[in-house]
């Protein structure tokens, strides 16, 4: 039997609808953590359905860190100005800014990494593995594994969310999509760090 | 005879040193406006002398316009954090942000315009002039003239300063260099307008 209290807690923690929460709890035999996972999986499904819809509203937001040492500019799109004006959306965009300031991604998703960057990275990783004396038959697997790490460090959506390393930024995004019921796209960002690349 | 009052006014208006102001007034026969021009010319000379010095301090600053419709991120460098922390420098950086938000430059200086963009622009301008029935012997001159206009519209340093169209942004920058006594470089910017380039 699922208690009204558990449904309420799950709703507060996920923002999902009442019946969705109840069904997830039934499926999870009353385990709230497991029910959250189930809802997140459904959130992912909802996100996939919404991914084709045009998101051309949204916000351009900026964040300046350390009194002008690091600056981030980001555009996040949604489908309507109604959602763009919700506090939840605004907070999400701010979180994305802070994530970029703190974790310094180079790309939004792994699809954005240029092929020549991947090739160069692979070369370096291969040379590394060879230098470490790894046997030839496992080199490729090692390179693939380390390339995954490269994506996880450099692609915003694959990064660990700075406030909760259990989640990726993609998880956070999918939660927002499920919660706000619109396609949401982190479209582009710029990150400047004072003096980077200037020869001293 | 140059009055102490005129020197004081000129100092307040230009931020230049006392003897520079006095000499400029003598040269201008006491005409303050003319003396300002003279100081600005000297400011240019001072800026040229300082241009070789490494500017790797400064500020990254952002400006969001229209509640998230337009965003600008800019890095402006100077030589010391002392200057970076002055109110004048901070205000200058803010002005640069607003200029970029309002006047939408594509490049910092004409040297930053890629050669292929210039070539394409020239072709268009030439076709335009031919379509207008301009005689062949003046086409090149017309194209050069209109290309200057293109630079003036698209290059930040050549744009009219939004608060004083008598000045270019480059003039404003040179005034800052003369006033603060350091090399100052508008190094890079990003400008995002919500939804630009998204097909509806």
SS3 of B69-135: the string is CEEEEEEEEECCHHHHCCHHHHHHHHHHHHHHHHHCCCECCHHHCCHHHHHHHHHHHHHHHHHCCCC
pLDDT for residue A56: 85
Check CB contact of A75 with chain B, cutoff 8 Å: yes
DSSP 8-state symbol, A53: S
Q: Which residue has the tokens 């999986």?
A: A41
pLDDT for residue A12: 66
Check CB contact of B91 with chain A, cutoff 8 Å: no
Chain A residues with beta carbon closer than 8 angstroms to that of B84: 68
Check CB contact of B98 with chain A, cutoff 8 Å: no
pLDDT for residue A175: 93
**Band (A33; pLDDT cuts 50, 70, 90):** confident
Q: How far is A126 from A122, CA to CA, in rounded Å?
A: 6
**Band (A21; pLDDT cuts 50, 70, 90):** confident
Q: State mean pLDDT over B143-151.
A: 94
Q: Is B21 exposed, middle or buried (0-12, 13-18, 19+ CB in 10 A)?
A: buried
Check CB contact of A183 with chain B, cutoff 8 Å: no
Does the structure's ipTM exceed the value 0.85? no
Check CB contact of B57 with chain A, cutoff 8 Å: yes
- Rounded to a whole number of angstroms, the distance from the CA of B191 to the nearest CA of chain A is 8
Check CB contact of A87 with chain B, cutoff 8 Å: no
The most confident of A80-84, A195-199, B9-13, by mean pLDDT: A80-84
**Band (B192; pLDDT cuts 50, 70, 90):** very high
Contact B54, B184 (CB under 8 A): no
pLDDT for residue B174: 92
Chain B residue nearest residue A187, CA to CA: B195
Q: For A4, what's the count of Cα atoms within 13 Å in the CB-facing half-sphere?
A: 0
Chain B residue nearest residue A196, CA to CA: B56
**Band (A50; pLDDT cuts 50, 70, 90):** low
Chain B residues with beta carbon closer than 8 angstroms to that of A59: 68, 194
| Higher pLDDT pick, B87 / B8 | B87
Token readout for B128 is 């335009």
Check CB contact of A64 with chain B, cutoff 8 Å: yes
Q: Is residue B166's pLDDT more than 90?
A: yes
Instruction: Kindly calculate the radius of gyration of chain B based on its CA atoms and give it in whole angstroms.
Output: 20
B73: nearest CB among A54, A55, A190: A190
Q: Is residue A47's pLDDT more than 60?
A: no
Q: Is residue B48's pLDDT more than 80?
A: no
Chain B residues with beta carbon closer than 8 angstroms to that of A55: 198
pLDDT for residue B47: 57
- Rounded to a whole number of angstroms, the distance from the CA of B116 to the nearest CA of chain A is 22
- Rounded to a whole number of angstroms, the distance from the CA of A137 to the nearest CA of chain B is 46
Contact A54, B191 (CB under 8 A): no
Q: Do A73 and B75 touch (CB under 8 A)?
A: no
Chain B residue nearest residue A191, CA to CA: B73
Check CB contact of B108 with chain A, cutoff 8 Å: no
User: Given 3-state DSSP classes, what are the helix, strand and coil percentages for chain A, each rounded to the nearest 5?
Assistant: 60, 20, 25
- Rounded to a whole number of angstroms, the distance from the CA of A195 to the nearest CA of chain B is 5
Q: Which residues contact A101 (CB under 8 A, 6 or more apart)?
A: A63, A65, A70, A71, A72, A191
Token readout for B172 is 């404003």
Chain B residue nearest residue A70, CA to CA: B60
The CA-based angle A168-A172-A175, given to 5 degrees, is: 135
pLDDT for residue A3: 87
Q: Which residue has the tokens 């600008």?
A: B72
Q: Is residue B200's pLDDT more than 90?
A: no
Backbone torsions φ then ψ of A172, nearest 5 degrees:
-60, -45
How many Cβ atoms are within 10 Å of B15's Cβ, its own excluded?
A: 17
Task: Give the pLDDT confidence of B67-103 residue by residue, as tens digits.
Answer: 999 999 999 999 999 999 999 999 999 999 999 999 9
Task: Give the pLDDT confidence of A78-117 residue by residue, as tens digits.
Answer: 999 999 999 999 999 999 999 999 999 999 999 999 999 9
Q: How far is B143 from B103, CA to CA, in rounded Å?
A: 23
- Rounded to a whole number of angstroms, the distance from the CA of A67 to the nearest CA of chain B is 8
Q: With CA atoms as reference, report the closest residue to B77 among B60, B91, B64, B62.
A: B60
- Rounded to a whole number of angstroms, the distance from the CA of B65 to the nearest CA of chain A is 9
DSSP codes joined into one string, A61-81? EEEEETTTTEEEEEEEEES-H
Check CB contact of B95 with chain A, cutoff 8 Å: no
Chain B residues with beta carbon closer than 8 angstroms to that of A74: 71, 192
| Higher pLDDT pick, A50 / B136 | B136
Task: Give the pLDDT confidence of A131-164 residue by residue, as tens digits.
Answer: 888 888 899 999 999 999 999 999 999 999 999 9
């Amino acid at each position: 039997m699922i208690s009204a209290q558990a449904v309420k807690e799950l709703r507060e923690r996920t923002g999902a609808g009442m019946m969705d929460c109840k069904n997830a709890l039934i499926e999870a035999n009353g385990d709230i953590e497991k029910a959250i996972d189930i809802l997140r999986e459904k959130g992912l499904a909802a996100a996939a359905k919404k991914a084709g819809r045009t998101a051309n509203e949204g916000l351009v937001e900026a964040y300046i860190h350390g009194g002008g040492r690091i600056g981030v500019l980001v555009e996040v799109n949604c489908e309507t100005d109604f959602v763009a004006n919700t506090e939840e959306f605004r907070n999400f965009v701010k979180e994305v800014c802070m994530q970029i300031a703190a974790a310094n991604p180079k790309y939004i998703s792994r699809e954005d990494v240029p092929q020549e960057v991947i090739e160069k990275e692979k070369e370096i990783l291969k040379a590394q593995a060879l230098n470490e004396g790894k046997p030839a038959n496992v080199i490729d697997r090692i390179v693939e594994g380390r390339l995954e790490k490269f994506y996880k460090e450099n692609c915003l959506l694959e990064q660990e969310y700075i406030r909760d390393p259990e989640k990726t930024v993609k998880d956070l995004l999918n939660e927002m999509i499920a919660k706000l019921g619109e396609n949401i796209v982190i479209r582009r960002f710029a990150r400047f760090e004072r003096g980077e690349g200037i020869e001293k």
